[in-house]
Amino acid sequence: MNSRTPFFGAALVALAAVSAGCSTRQVYDGLRAGSRNACQRYAEPDRSRCLAANDTDYEKYRRERDEMMLK
């Protein structure tokens, strides 16, 4: 599998979701679920690190995004 495939797949999902009128939260939750699912292919301890890296809930993500937009 090509290393760009997950990114391309995520970009396609995001584009489809936005086109379908999904909210930002729905897009975020879908991409997060896909990322967490992809973590399952790793053995421990990489799986735990991957899951921890994808553990930001939407509200924290939104606050961080808003702060970066103000800079």
For residue 59, give both structure tokens.
């509200």
pLDDT for the residue numbered 2:
47
pLDDT for the residue numbered 58:
93
Q: How confident is the model at residue 51 (pLDDT cuts 50, 70, 90)?
A: very high
Residues 7 and 31 sit within 8 Å (Cβ to Cβ): no
Query: What's the predicted TM-score (pTM) here?
Result: 0.62
Per domain, the residue ranges of the chain are 5-70
Q: How confident is the model at residue 1 (pLDDT cuts 50, 70, 90)?
A: very low
pLDDT in tens, 11-49: 666 666 556 657 888 889 999 999 999 999 999 999 999
